[in-house]
A and B are shown apart, each in its own frame.
Chain A
Amino acid sequence: MRAHLASTTTRVVNATSRRLGRGQGTVAGGRAGLRLDPRLLEHLSAGRQVALVTGTNGKTTTTRLLTVALGATGDAVVSNETGSNMPPGHVAALAGTRARRAVLETDEVYLPRVLTSTAAATVVLLNLSRDQLDRTNEVRMIAGSWRAALAAAPHTHVVANADDPLVAWGAGAARDVHWVGAGLRWQHDAVGCPACEGRIAFVEGGWSCTTCGFARPAPEATLVGAADGTAHAEWADGRTAPVRLSLPGRFNQANALMAAVAAEASGVDALVALAAMEAVQDVAGRFTVRSFGDVRARLMLAKNPAGWDELLDLVAGSDAPLVISINARIADGADPSWLWDVPFERLAGRAVVVTGDRYRDLSVRLHYGGVPHSTEPDPVLAVARAAAGSAAVVEVIGNYTAFHDLLGAPA
Chain B
Amino acid sequence: MTASLRIVVVYPDLLGTYGDGGNGLVLARRAEWRGHAVTLLQAASDRPLPEADLYCLGGGEDGPQVRAARTLIDDGTLVRRAAEGAVVLAVCAGFQIVGRTFPGAGGEAHEGVGLLDVDTVKSTGPRAVGEVLVEVDADALGPLPTLTGFENHGGATSRADGTAALGHVVAGVGNGAGDGSEGAVGGHIVGTYLHGPVLARNPALADRLLSWALDDVALAPLDDAAPESLRQERLVTVGGKRRRGRQRRT
Contacts and interface: CB of A to CB of B under 8 A. Distances in A.
Partners in one complex: yes
Interface of A: 130, 133-134, 137-140, 188-189, 191-194, 197-199, 210, 334-335, 337-341, 360-361, 363-365, 367-370
Given A138-B62, A337-B196, A133 B17 contact: yes
30 contacts: A133-B152, A138-B61, A138-B62, A140-B61, A188-B13, A188-B16, A191-B13, A192-B13, A192-B63, A193-B63, A198-B67, A199-B13, A335-B152, A337-B150, A337-B195, A337-B197, A338-B18, A339-B19, A340-B22, A340-B200, A341-B16, A360-B230, A363-B226, A364-B226, A364-B230, A365-B22, A367-B227, A368-B22, A368-B25, A370-B29
Interface in B3-20: 12-14, 16-20
Contact of B200 (A189, A365, A370): A365
Contacts of B19: 337-341
Contacts of A193: 63
Contacts of A140: 61-63
B242 interface: no
Contacts of B77: none
Nearest to A366: B226
A192 B67 CA distance: 8
Nearest to A141: B61
Interface string B143-185: 0000000101000000000000000000000000000000000
A380 to B, nearest CB: 21
A218 B61 CA distance: 28
A337 to B, nearest CB: 4
Contacts of A189: 17
Contacts of B46: 199, 210
A77 B155 CA distance: 47
A368 B199 CA distance: 11
Contacts of B127: 137
Interface residues of B, number: 37
B230 A134 contact: no
Nearest to B22: A340
B107 to A, nearest CB: 14
Interface in B197-216: 197, 200-201
A361 B61 contact: no
A133 B226 CA distance: 25
B67 A367 contact: no
Contact of B17 (A130, A334, A370): A130
Given A191-B14, A192-B63, A368 B200 contact: yes
A401 to B, nearest CB: 17
A364 B227 contact: yes
Contacts of A192: 13-14, 61, 63-64, 67
A191 B200 contact: no
A137 B25 CA distance: 25
Nearest to A342: B19
Nearest to A334: B130
Interface centre among B14, B29, B46, B61 (most CB of A within 10 A): B61
